[in-house]
Structure 1
């Protein structure tokens, strides 16, 4: 499967804007999750593992992607889920329901226990409980994930001046940085508060042609505002491109705001990376519905 670049027509602007539709790669293993899992699944097969185990929260794109990939490739899948209370709320969670349909087995752990998910003691307990498995980190970022993300840009993207993407764990942007060309600048838009991401990116990125723009997290991970929802819906109505509110929606909002503020030089050619995550809209709409706020439009 391949993604494609879709032009976004801007009125009264000398900027040329395109979006790479990585969300079109797969209905459930979409965007950066497709890239991150590609070589990890191959490695699990090489090691003759029959089980993939990973970690995630209530509406995790990664959890669903691992479940779907496991189903397709013949693996058992185990999801260590943050929050014991979610065990009693499965009926309200479309992400976990779909992952369960794909055969994933859940282990709901307390938030305190989840903080120690990377400790030797915690992992040893999982080995004793589930036997031999292939371990995928939360969010899927590791060396093999970076290798997959290095395939996001192709030779067709060499003439873009700016490459823009959302940042969660730092894996996707690291791969993009590594495959970017001389003269290109990679701009990352963190979905989380905090300045720790730069150090995480430096562990994997081989070039220094990148910058984080931390002004568009809208309060932090999973936080949204009426302004952001309005923008996402208007963007969908105008361009027929759905955006998720956790990652890509915030990045695209940021780029449009910077264009409005003349941040980019005239005649710049910009490529936005759509990293998928659209499955999370259903969960976000549940929250918005409960708060009696405007929901996100999407094609059912």
Structure 2
């Protein structure tokens, strides 16, 4: 896989504060497995060694969609455990309908069981209920030690090319690998798209399991999640539309728009000294 391009953009909203903005176009890596999904899934699917793959996500999970697409492309059986109950008689939403069209078998579970899915007994029960006892388990968001190693290459591709590299965060795996791959003097910034303030501990734990301890200089900026995962606001929608018009970039709303909006707010607050080169990782694109 060739490194994804890093492109400078002219945006006076950043420029007036002496900040140069560049976009790391990870959304161009693969037509179906874009951005961090490719980087995290490839090592996990290799570990499956042809076995069925089971993974987890919400009703609008980009990770489920990417896993389903990978299964179709590679001829792997995939099972998606979906948070929440299926509504009888209601059609699947577009995300889950795409998963099903790609051959993923969907298994819905209540939120209480979903929250406990990492517990061995609950996981075993979910696998039995889904008819996937022998499947290779990929965690929610694909974030585990294999995924962190896969995302380390992202940081290595950006060594010496930016002062601060920002990435939107759902489970912390991309940030954990990115930070480990950057060079001296570079910092990684994570923008959580879920509320709760738990990602610092999750990211540190992923680095501990992968590398034996914290790696790289990284931090998180909470407060830009718009109320939680899957939620947006009219202000975020207006920002995303404006950014698309300015730069000709389709802006995915649940991750990328929140990160870009956060970077502008932080720049206006003076969080980045004049002369900073800021790279924003475009982890995905809007699904049709």
Q: Please give the TM-score of this superposition, normalised by the length of structure 2.
A: 0.90
Call closer, same or farther: CA 1:277–1:59 in 2, change over 3 Å: farther
Counterpart in 1 of 2:262? 254
Greater shift, 125-134 or 246-255, is seen at: 125-134
Call closer, same or farther: CA 1:17–1:62 in 2, change over 3 Å: same
- On the 8 A contact 2:148/2:173 being kept in 1, the answer is yes
Residue aligned with 1:188, SS: strand
Greater shift, 18-27 or 155-164, is seen at: 155-164
Matched, 1:18 2:22: yes
Call closer, same or farther: CA 1:88–1:157 in 2, change over 3 Å: farther
Residue aligned with 1:165, SS: strand
- Counterpart Cα distance in 1 of 2:236 and 2:222: 15
Deviations 1:67-97 (A, max 9, x none): 1111111210011111223464334x11111
* CA-CA distance at 1:28 after TM superposition: 2.6
Deviations 1:264-290 (A, max 9, x none): 1111111101111522xx6xxxxxxxx
- Counterpart Cα distance in 2 of 1:263 and 1:228: 20
Aligned pairs for 1:157-176 (under 5 A) are: 157-176=159-178
Q: Which residue of 203, 220, 235 maps to 1:227?
A: 235
Residue aligned with 1:247, SS: helix
Deviations 1:31-68 (A, max 9, x none): 111111010111111xxx42000111111001011111
Matched, 1:242 2:250: yes
Counterpart in 2 of 1:113? 113
Greater shift, 263-272 or 200-209, is seen at: 200-209
Residue aligned with 1:203, SS: helix
Counterpart in 2 of 1:89? 90
Residue aligned with 1:107, SS: strand
Matched, 1:39 2:47: no
* CA-CA distance at 1:208 after TM superposition: 4.8
- Counterpart Cα distance in 2 of 1:234 and 1:69: 32
* CA-CA distance at 1:259 after TM superposition: 2.0
- On the 8 A contact 2:240/2:251 being kept in 1, the answer is yes
* CA-CA distance at 1:111 after TM superposition: 1.9
Q: Please give the TM-score of this superposition, normalised by the length of structure 1.
A: 0.86
Counterpart in 1 of 2:211? none
- On the 8 A contact 1:16/1:267 being kept in 2, the answer is yes
Counterpart in 2 of 1:62? 63
Residue aligned with 1:172, SS: helix
- On the 8 A contact 2:61/2:95 being kept in 1, the answer is yes
Counterpart in 1 of 2:210? none
Matched, 1:270 2:275: no
State the aligned residue count: 276
- Counterpart Cα distance in 1 of 2:253 and 2:7: 20
Query: Superposition RMSD on alpha carbons, in Å?
Result: 1.8
* CA-CA distance at 1:155 after TM superposition: 4.5
Call closer, same or farther: CA 1:229–1:34 in 2, change over 3 Å: same
Residue aligned with 1:151, SS: helix
Instruction: In structure 2, list runs of 5 or more residues that go unmatched.
Output: 208-213
Residue aligned with 2:153, SS: coil
Instruction: In structure 1, list runs of 5 or more residues that go unmatched.
Output: 283-300
Counterpart in 2 of 1:146? 148
- Counterpart Cα distance in 2 of 1:25 and 1:228: 26
Residue aligned with 1:132, SS: coil
Matched, 1:4 2:8: no
